[in-house]
Amino acid sequence: MIVSEGKFEYLTEGSGTPLIFLHGLMGNLTNFQHQVNYFSVRGYEVVIPLLPLYTMPLATTSVTSLTKFVKKFIDHKGYTKVILVGNSLGGHIALLFQKLFPDYLLSIVLSGSSGLYEAAMGNSYPRRGDRAYIAERVRDVFAVKEVATEELIDQVFSTVNDRMKAIKTLAISKSAIRHNMAEDITSFHLPVCLIWGRQDAVTPPEVADKFHELLPNSDLFWIDNCGHAAMMEHPQEFNIIVDEWLKKIEVA
């Protein structure tokens, strides 16, 4: 069920501990459809806010602004303690949230997160009118190629061919590169679960290893035949890893 309340648009299902999923730069609410069905019947209130990637003023389009938007959303919902699950840019937002608003977080799950290093799609924009080229770049994101549906390719193609959306996409990408979290995360002592595709070409495996090295209280899980979006490419394996990890840290 998608809810619209003022400037917030989000999907919510279930009841219990708020489990908030944060999508990436080219993502949307459907990226976590398999997680909604799984976790909403396991004692969690699953919530997926639509991030205002293209509706913020250009001057304030940044990772920091998106993080503050998530804070406003959490306050709007009246949550005091939440779990953040972020893919790609969504992971970067979760990490910055921990830096700025640490009292709100119980734990973080990161999958293909930016924040240390990521390969940008920026070089595709000079050829934004070439759908075949965009389709190739989208498929490169996934090891499980059928995840790159024609609908998804059309969505990305539409985004990069909208001049203002393309500009804002680049603005967010540059903001993410500038906002490297390497020095910050060494002081993060909350539990962090890292779930990474071994074939991730956007945030390669060495990024996961570096996150694991720098985060004092992290666990790293690998998924084979998996690219940048484990929750979409191998949803069952992803869900089980998250579910069992959350149970483990609650017991601990």
Taking the chain (252 residues) in runs of 10, the rounded mean pLDDT of each run is 91 96 89 95 96 89 95 98 97 97 97 85 54 91 93 90 89 89 96 98 96 98 97 97 95 55
Please tell me the predicted confidence (pLDDT) of residue 147. 93
pLDDT of residue 121: 45
Query: Which pTM value belongs to this model?
Result: 0.93
Q: Which residues pair with 217 in a beta bridge?
A: none
pLDDT number for residue 103:
97
Q: What pLDDT shows up at residue 176?
A: 87
Q: Name the strands in the sheet holding 82-87, side by side, starting at the edge strand that comes first in the sequence.
A: 2-5, 8-13, 44-49, 17-22, 82-87, 105-111, 192-197, 218-223
Sorted by where each begins, the domain ranges of the chain are: 2-117+179-251
State the pLDDT at residue 59: 86
Residue of 248, 241, 249, 236 whose CA lies nearest to 38: 236
Identify the DSSP state of 161: H
- Structure confidence at residue 125 (pLDDT): 46
Instruction: Quote the longest CA-to-CA distance of the chain.
Output: 52
Q: Which CATH superfamily is domain 2-117+179-251 in?
A: Alpha/Beta hydrolase fold, catalytic domain (3.40.50.1820)
CA dihedral of 60, 64, 67, 73, whole degrees rounded to 10: -40
Q: With contact defined as beta carbons under 8 Å apart, do 113 and 95 qualify?
A: yes
Among residues 1, 13, 7, the alpha carbon closest in space to that of 72 is found at 7
Give pLDDT, residue 177: 87
